[in-house]
Amino acid sequence: MLKAPINKIIDHSLVDGIGNRSAIFFQGCNISCKYCHNPETQKLCNHCQFCVAKCPVGALMVVEGQVAWDSWACIKCDTCIHVCPNDSSPKVTEMTVDEVFDRIAKNLPFIRGITVSGGECSLYTPFLQELFGKCKSIGITCLMDCNGTIPLWNNPVMEVCDGIMLDVKAWSDQCFRNLTGADNEVVKQNLRQLSNRNKLEELRIVCLEDYVDAEDTIKGIADYVSEQTRENVLLKLIRFRHFGVKGELKEAASPTYEYMEKLKQIALENGFGNVRIV
Ligand code: SF4
Ligand code: SF4
């Protein structure tokens, strides 16, 4: 029976793809973005137990060497997340496909579909393939919100996935590596191949002057995707905000609105027909 670590499920979300959707956040990521606004989703808990004594209501305990979380006692103060030295959370639940599906099914008929996010949801494609198959059987759509560093175009999950929301992040290898600690060759391959297969739902760049080569990223995406993708797929230019960010960017200033408008203009000049600043 397939299981995956689930950080949280939001039953009704209007910001994770088109329409009202249930959003499922997986725990664990294969890269470490410096501007990540939920860094507690990056790593799996190593059960170091550091957070246990910090919980003000005793909702954390050690059971056979493993940290356990009592969701009923928890008052959601997030102290455990703030003190964790490992970019993790003790409030993660291992769930089966059926358990996730049963939770989603309760939200029918109010949702149009589900969106899986993270962490990095594409670390769990066998789980997703099974979950999406069940969702399709009841007529709801399935989107994946991904960092694109894992090849998807040839993954069987794409047979049951309606679209990828791809966070392109940066274009030059140096900029991407500085931001994430990883390589972006596979991101570019995903971009081209998923565009050719008409599987891109949304493209995204978090914009931060002097840190992200946003202008080159817009132009690079324009070169890599089909005309149909350029004209129709939503390109979100996200204004960096420091909320939740840890490390060297935790107090970085947001870009000016003038800068964001300039980027939008560049996107329009490069053939994007659906550009939004958020
Ligand atoms: S959020 Fe963490 S620290 Fe706060 S009550 Fe819940 S388990 Fe305890
Ligand atoms: S959540 Fe963090 S601090 Fe708590 S046990 Fe896990 S790794 Fe340690």
How many Å apart are CA 195 and CA 225, to the nearest integer? 6
pLDDT at 62: 97
- Tell me the pairing of strands 113-117 and 234-239: unpaired
Burial class (CB in 10 A: 0-12, 13-18, 19+), 7: buried
Minimum CA distance residue for ligand 2 atom 7:
45
67 lines ligand 1 (CB under 6 A): no
Q: What's the rounded mean pLDDT across residues 160-165?
A: 98
Distance 91 CA to ligand 2 centre (A): 10
pLDDT at 266: 98
Contact 33, 123 (CB under 8 A): no
Q: Cis check for the bond before 119: say yes or no (omega within 30 of 0).
A: yes
Residue 132, φ and ψ in degrees, nearest 5: -65, -40
Is residue 109 pLDDT above 90, yes or no?
A: no
pLDDT at 1: 87
Is residue 146 pLDDT above 90, yes or no?
A: yes
pLDDT in tens, 222-262: 999 999 999 999 999 999 999 989 889 999 999 999 999 99
pLDDT at 5: 98
Q: Which amino acid is at 267?
A: A
Is residue 195 pLDDT above 90, yes or no?
A: yes
ipTM: 0.98
- The C-alpha angle with vertex 244 and arms to 117 and 248, in degrees rounded to 5, equals 110
Minimum CA distance residue for ligand 1 atom 2:
80
> Which residues, at least 6 apart from 110, have a Cβ–Cβ distance to it below 8 Å?
12, 20
Q: Which residues line ligand 2 (CB under 6 A)?
A: 45-51, 67, 80, 84, 86, 88-90
Q: Which amino acid is at 197?
A: R
Distance 81 CA to ligand 2 centre (A): 8
Distance of CA 263 to the CA centre of its chain: 23
Q: What number does the ligand 2 atom closest to the CA of 43 have?
A: 7
Q: What number does the ligand 1 atom closest to the CA of 69 have?
A: 7
How many Å apart are CA 133 and CA 217, to the nearest integer? 34
Is residue 167 pLDDT above 90, yes or no?
A: yes
Distance 100 CA to ligand 1 centre (A): 23
75 lines ligand 1 (CB under 6 A): yes
pLDDT in tens, 44-98: 999 999 999 999 999 999 999 999 999 999 999 999 999 999 989 999 999 999 9
Q: What percent of the chain has pLDDT above 90?
A: 96
**Helix, strand, coil % (nearest 5) of the chain?**
35, 20, 45
Is residue 101 pLDDT above 90, yes or no?
A: yes
Contact 28, 119 (CB under 8 A): yes
Classify residue 78 by its DSSP letter: -
Q: Which amino acid is at 129?
A: Q
10 pLDDT band, cuts 50/70/90, is very high
* Sheet of 275-277, strand order: 93-96, 3-13, 21-26, 113-117, 141-146, 163-167, 200-207, 234-239, 275-277
How many Å apart are CA 201 and CA 229, to the nearest integer? 9
pLDDT at 229: 98
Distance 74 CA to ligand 1 centre (A): 5
Specify the 3-state DSSP secondary structure of 115.
strand
Look up residue 86 and give its two tokens. 């490992």
| All structural domains of the chain | 3-41+96-277 (3.20.20.70), 45-91 (3.30.70.20)
Q: What is the mean pLDDT of the chain?
A: 96
**Mutation test residue for ligand 1: of 55, 61, 82, 88, the one with most atoms within 8 Å of CB:** 55
